[in-house]
Amino acid sequence: MRIWIDADGCPRDVKDLVFRAAERLKIPVVMVADRPLARHRSPLITSVVVPRDLDSADRHIAGQLDPGDLVITADLPLAAEVVGRGAIGINPRGELYTEENVRERLSMRDFLMGLRETGAELGGPPPYSRKDKERFAAALDRFLTRALKA
């Protein structure tokens, strides 16, 4: 099992939580981004820099992951690919992606994109909060506990 981080927009708090869990449990982590990332002292944590093409990080993760891997992403098309390939996806706010909810969220995203194209100003997601960090930590812990028991 590996943990993949779609690192381009991932909050620092999420990365820190994943790094600590990976060190404690000896699980490899791969961060993928289209720009250079800070180096880590741990041999368990690696970074992959992909070309600055649209969705190149997502394509890299989807092409390399194995069933049972964990992917941290807020990107819904990547989440759908992750779930479809038998891996687990969690967003930085601690929500677990399933086949049902990822399809529903993709539909809603497409609907909102259509509204934006007509000129509607809908705003974006709320700022990342302490509560989001706590929900992510709990979701990560649940996944790792289940995965290590299996």
The reported pLDDT for the residue numbered 107 is 65
C-beta separation of 88 from 69 below 8 A: yes
pTM score of the predicted model: 0.87
Residue 141's H or E segment, with its range, is: helix 130-149
One CATH from 3.40.1350, 3.90.180, 3.40.50, 1.20.950 for 3-149: 3.40.50
90 strand-pairing partners: 72, 96
- pLDDT of 112 > 80? The answer is no
pLDDT value at 124 more than 90: no
Lookup: tokens for 43: 């041999």
pLDDT attached to residue 115: 65
Average pLDDT over residues 49-53: 92
Both tokens assigned to 133: 């960090």
Q: What is the mean pLDDT of the chain?
A: 90
d(C-alpha 122, C-alpha 134), whole Å:
27
Phi, then psi, of 105 in degrees rounded to 5: -70, -35
